[in-house]
A and B are shown apart, each in its own frame.
Chain A
Amino acid sequence: MKLYFLILIVCVGLVNFAHAQTTLNGNTSSRILKGDEGLHVGGYAQIDFNKAISNDNIFNNSKLDVHRFVTFFGYNFNENTSFVAEVEFEHVVEVYVEQAFLSHKLNDQFNLNAGLMLIPMGIQNLYHEPPTFNGVERTNVDKYIVPTTWREIGVGVSGRLKSYSINYELMAINGFSGYSDGQGSFSGGSGLRGGRQKGAESYMTKLDFAARVNYYGEPGLSLGISAYIGGSESEEYNNLDLNNDFELASADSTIVGIEMLGIDARYNKGPLQLRGQYIVANISNTEQYNIKSNSDIGKQLSGYYAEVGYDLLSKKNTNEELIGFFRYENYDTHSDVDAVTFKNDTYNRTEMTFGLGWKVAKGAMLKFDYQILSNASETSNKSEKLNFGTAIWF
């Protein structure tokens, strides 16, 4: 009897063990078939080599950098509730939380989200995994006009109108820190970038709002329109006596109003890839802000790019891709300035980038590109830059 019982246990165990092994030892396809697991783990990384090419007798060292390594985690509590988090190591030594939010689905049309979220503006602030874009570095429109990776804490709703093939996202979040420790965070050259709070002990004077609508009704086509409205935050409002007109006026001169609008398009057809984007930001109260903080932020920031890519291996019998691409990009953080600010034409920058991306596997890419950089100033010389990169995503 005892022996029969043991044999039974061994048989059950072996059957179960063999069953599990069948799944675990499968090929790539069967490994991705993970079934209903609560935890999803992934990540992406970008390792760069940059070399500025000098036209004169000045030598520049090359730069080599583990630009970013990000791990992401998604945990599903049940059918409708999940938590999403991304932890980023930037330049090896800097650690950030890039996203950390709870999402609860009420129905297809309505999800409730709360936590540290990406601001839905343009393409790359939402889709910035390195193998998803051409070129070693991200586009500079998505650095100096949209300060990617732009994320703040707040609440929002998102969902899909399936019949119309429309996805929407709407959120209320804290804004940029425009003035802290007696200093302004915005500048003429970098725009709003220095004011990102990134969810690290953020503070808020007033709520800001962001929205995006995306149309995906035609196969391969994605059209997006994004908007942001609000104002920067300022530490000068802490402990502010609202009856003190002088202090109130002083605090009012440390904030700016922000209205940003973006349109973008992506289209894939066989080996052909097209994408483009235009972003404009109108900044108000810059005159007072620039005087108070001794800064030079522009009254208007704008930028655009257009890019064409083609898979040169499309006719070959291989799953690898070799994408040749060309991109024209212009961004100007001084599109317009107030009366007290000198319009700096060196902030009106143009970049032509052409290069190759070799997708050696799904999610793994080796990149090369060459950039010709210029600006609108009369004394400007064109400069050139050579970039190599490793881009992965899993």
Chain B
Amino acid sequence: MFYKLLTTTSILIAVVGSLSFKNIWDPAILDWKIIDSQVSKHLIQNNHDDYLVELIRYSDNGIFYYEVIENGIRKGFVVTAKAPSKYNNFDFFVILNLNFKIEYLEVIKYRENWGYEISNKKWLRQFSKLTDSMLGSKNQVQAISGATISVHSLCSYIDFILEDLKNI
């Protein structure tokens, strides 16, 4: 009787637990040529071909953290993520130095016809050099009329990444 009860409960917990575990988005679909060229530009000074980008962790929010290593020395981080827009998702990557300062941010794929203004590179430049997750505060980021949801979504992700990186 005890074993039956334990078995049923265990299977139930295992099934519920497994169902709760989300599918992970695969960043392999991203155009890594773009990411590599920006990593070379912002983190690698010497030999542009002599560096590695290695996955160090990922979260079930679809955020992938990589470290950039040149000649065996860590030079910084690349983070790729997929964030929600109004009806769909968009992909972006962010490059950070060893002090967790943002060196570069780019929206690499924006899928829908609302909120696309966040992919404007001039607008994204305001994120450079940010270290603290203060983006949730108003006036930290220039508002965009017509892209409120995507701006909020990107800021929430950047906030999350800046906080999460400190645990690495």
Contact = CB atoms under 8 A, between A and B. Distances in A.
A311 B109 CA distance: 32
Nearest to B84: A34
Contact of B10 (A6, A24, A33, A319): A6
Nearest to B125: A219
Contacts of B47: none
Contacts of B145: 127, 132, 222, 266, 268, 273, 275
Nearest to B21: A16
Interface residues of A, number: 69
Interface of A is mostly: mixed
Contacts of A268: 142-145
Contacts of A17: 13, 16-17, 20
A356 B22 CA distance: 43
Nearest to B138: A319
B120 A165 contact: yes
B154 to A, nearest CB: 10
A138 interface: no
A10 B13 contact: yes
Interface string B70-86: 00000000000011101
Given A29-B160, A84-B87, A216-B117, A13 B122 contact: no
A269 interface: yes
Interface in A15-33: 15-17, 19-21, 23-24, 28-30, 32-33
A15 B17 contact: yes
Given A9-B11, A17-B13, A216-B117, A29 B23 contact: no
A9 B14 contact: yes
B111 A80 contact: yes
Given A35-B22, A79-B29, A217-B122, A74 B138 contact: no
B152 interface: yes
Contacts of A131: 148
B126 interface: yes
Contact of A19 (B20, B25, B84, B144): B20
Interface residues of B, number: 59
B20 A20 contact: yes
A13 B15 contact: yes
A30 B145 CA distance: 24
B86 A42 contact: yes
Quick one: which of A19, A35, A108, A165 has the most chain B CB within 10 A?
A: A35
Given A13-B10, A74-B88, A36 B111 contact: no
A333 to B, nearest CB: 27
6 contacts: A6-B7, A42-B86, A113-B113, A165-B120, A216-B117, A275-B145
Interface of B: 3, 6-7, 9-18, 20-25, 29, 60-63, 82-84, 86-89, 109-113, 116-117, 119-120, 122-123, 126, 136-139, 142-146, 148, 152-153, 156-157, 159-160
Given A23-B60, A33-B157, A222-B144, 16 more contacts: A6-B7, A16-B21, A17-B13, A19-B60, A20-B17, A32-B156, A33-B61, A33-B83, A37-B22, A108-B110, A127-B145, A127-B146, A132-B148, A216-B120, A217-B120, A269-B142
Interface of A: 2, 6, 9-10, 12-17, 19-21, 23-24, 28-30, 32-37, 40, 42, 72, 74, 76, 79-80, 82, 84, 103, 105, 108, 111, 113, 123, 126-127, 131-132, 158, 160, 162, 165, 167, 169, 216-220, 222, 266, 268-271, 273, 275, 311, 314, 319, 321, 362-363, 393
> What 3 A-B pairs are tightest by C-beta distance, nearest first?
A74-B87, A16-B17, A20-B20
